[in-house]
Structure 1
Amino acid sequence: MLAVGVAFLYLYLNSPTVIGAEGERRVNATLARKLDDQHYIVLEDLTLPTNHGTTQVDHIVLSRFGVFVIETKNMSGWIFGSESQARWTQVMRCRKFQFQNPLRQNYHHVKVVQDLLGIRLDQLENLVAFVGSAEPKTEMPPNVFWNRKALLHYITSRQTVQFTENEVHDFARKLRRSALGANKEIRRAHIQHVREKAIQKETDLSKCPRCGSKMIERTNRSTGQRFYGCCRYPKCRGTRQAD
């Protein structure tokens, strides 16, 4: 029984939810400790309403010099990706894992914050902060950071005044009012919304992009690469690249 409990605890502590929360805690602690609260307001873990449900924003830093929306990634291994790629790759122990381009993921958060505050898009910054031992193996965009010191330097280097002090405090009030309380029912609704989106995406990927029929996994005889082809081939030649 003890062994089962230890195994459960190990799995829990190494779950993506716990690992992600620990990364967010580290970044928030750094922001709250290092940014002067006379000039910056730090908000964390905001569940905000959208037109299609809710979205969770890791960190928002408000200042007269702009609004910084930050996505945290607590990862290890080698990271490959570029600003234009829809999915990035993590290589760990000779295994590859793909994940959504975090800049694209966070852009959705940026747009939600923009709509709530009623400001211009160029007055917000889309930032991604990696914590943990992850190392970039391709050239990364300048708004992706691999340590908290670099993230802080970027934020404090922005010195062009965009807002008044009263506007900054008004933004904080708007976001806090809009943020949904972190109670179990709302959290459950948010998780359910994310699951429904994932199921919908999986369903869409299983359909042919040309005719909507079922896709079947196939192998390119010349290259050996896997891909998905329409079940109505050769009448329909719709294909989709395999992950």
Structure 2
Amino acid sequence: MAVIIGNPGEGALLRGLLNRVLAVVFITLFAGILVAGVAWLLGGSRAWWVVVVPVVVVIAEIVYYRKTIAEVLELYAEGGNWLKGAEGERRVSAELGKLPDEFIVFNDFHPVKDGTRAAWNVDHIVIGPSGVFVIETKHYSNARVPSAAESGITRRNVKQANANALELKNRAVRWSGGQLQGLFVVPVLVYAQDGASVTSLWEGHVRVLPLRLLVKTILDHRETAIDHDRASRLALVLYDQMDVGTRTPFKDDIVRFGRVVRTVPRTAAPAAAPAPAAAPARPACPKCGSTLVVRTARKGAHAGESFLACPGFPECKHTAPLPS
């Protein structure tokens, strides 16, 4: 089971709840003001105008504040979308948990700078033997996912996934002091709705997947494999960028990942070819001092045999047998 760091959908859940609470508070206040106004106008009287006037006032207020009311209703609906997104992130996290022990997953990753959470965040980051993956999660009602050529929403999602991968790559290099230079990050766009049907599995460099294909795709993706040392270093770099309060509950998990990575068998490097034996030093000619060279007899009783001879031949005719 993969090591899981962080709570999935935490940011989306909080934003969704906040939007809905604000919308409900506004609607409650607005309705309360209307009720109070109607009660004041009625004042116990039964005259016809006492009924007509409040109705006219209510209609007038709705017309006058129609834009505000529309924004509040949109805020309420947007809150529902955020809550739906949080559910999608929880589904993806549960699926990523099925990866083997040598993988680590960061959920709802928010780096911190000077004690403040950065505006940039990533739904999921996966690190393992097959590479580094940045995952953008979407959770819609419709099962069919149109291609980027068909849908502006899909184009926007693909662009976001690609931008997140590039941003993580640049930040990882900066956070590691250049030690993670050349790191390749795979952008992935995942649709978590039930029965998701993706029209195109590739949009440029971005993998577009239904949830059911996510784990298999990560395990089979060997083009961007990284070694254990870089995987461990990147995990520690990301962990250090998290808020202290957020990361502390997962201290034992990051330690466990480092321990697992160290114990995973490494692929043995091919043995280096043995260096060729140094040729024995050739002796010097005892007559002229030149270094003897190897010659081959062309004729006579020793034709075809090698021997040592002085390079000064014919001035120096010294020869010697080759040492055994």
With structure 2 as the length reference, what TM-score do the two structures score? Answer: 0.43
- Rg larger in 1 or in 2? 2
Change (3 A) 1:182 1:125: farther
Change (3 A) 1:48 1:108: farther
Residue matched to 1:35: 99
Q: Which amino acid aligns with 2:209?
A: F
Change (3 A) 1:101 1:14: same
**1:1-243 equivalence runs, <5 A:** 15-32=80-97, 34-37=98-101, 39-48=102-111, 53-77=118-142, 78-82=144-148, 88-89=151-152, 98=153, 101-118=156-173, 119=180, 123-133=184-194, 135-136=196-197, 138-141=199-202, 143-146=207-210, 148-160=211-223, 162-180=225-243
3-state DSSP of counterpart to 2:83 = helix
Q: Aligned partners of 1:88 and 1:150: how far apart in 2?
A: 22
Q: Which amino acid aligns with 2:80?
A: S
Change (3 A) 1:22 1:135: closer
Following TM superposition, by how much is the alpha carbon of 1:133 offset from its aligned partner in structure 2, in angstroms? Answer: 3.8
Following TM superposition, by how much is the alpha carbon of 1:151 offset from its aligned partner in structure 2, in angstroms? Answer: 0.9
Change (3 A) 1:13 1:30: farther
Q: Which amino acid aligns with 1:48?
A: P
Q: Aligned partners of 1:117 and 1:54: how far apart in 2?
A: 17
Contact 1:79 1:134 in 2 (8 A): no
Contact 2:130 2:223 in 1 (8 A): yes
Deviations 1:145-186 (A, max 9, x none): 11x231111100023574321221111111111234688xxx
Q: Which amino acid aligns with 2:126?
A: V
Change (3 A) 1:12 1:88: closer
Change (3 A) 1:159 1:138: closer
Change (3 A) 1:138 1:165: closer
3-state DSSP of counterpart to 2:110 = strand
Q: Which amino acid aligns with 1:72?
A: T
Change (3 A) 1:161 1:12: closer
Residue matched to 1:197: none
Runs (4+) of structure 1 moved beyond 6 Å? none
Q: Aligned partners of 1:182 and 1:54: how far apart in 2?
A: 18
Higher strand share: 1
Change (3 A) 1:137 1:178: closer
3-state DSSP of counterpart to 1:54 = coil
With structure 1 as the length reference, what TM-score do the two structures score? Answer: 0.56
Structure 2 gaps of 5+ residues are 1-20, 25-75, 174-179, 247-324
| Count of paired positions | 160
Provide the aligned C-alpha RMSD in A: 3.3
Structure 1 gaps of 5+ residues are 90-97, 184-243
> Identity percentage over the alignment?
24
Q: Aligned partners of 2:83 and 2:137: how far apart in 1?
A: 13
Contact 1:60 1:68 in 2 (8 A): yes
Q: Aligned partners of 1:173 and 1:60: how far apart in 2?
A: 13
Change (3 A) 1:137 1:21: closer
Q: Aligned partners of 1:161 and 1:110: how far apart in 2?
A: 13
Contact 1:76 1:135 in 2 (8 A): no
Q: Aligned partners of 2:237 and 2:139: how far apart in 1?
A: 29
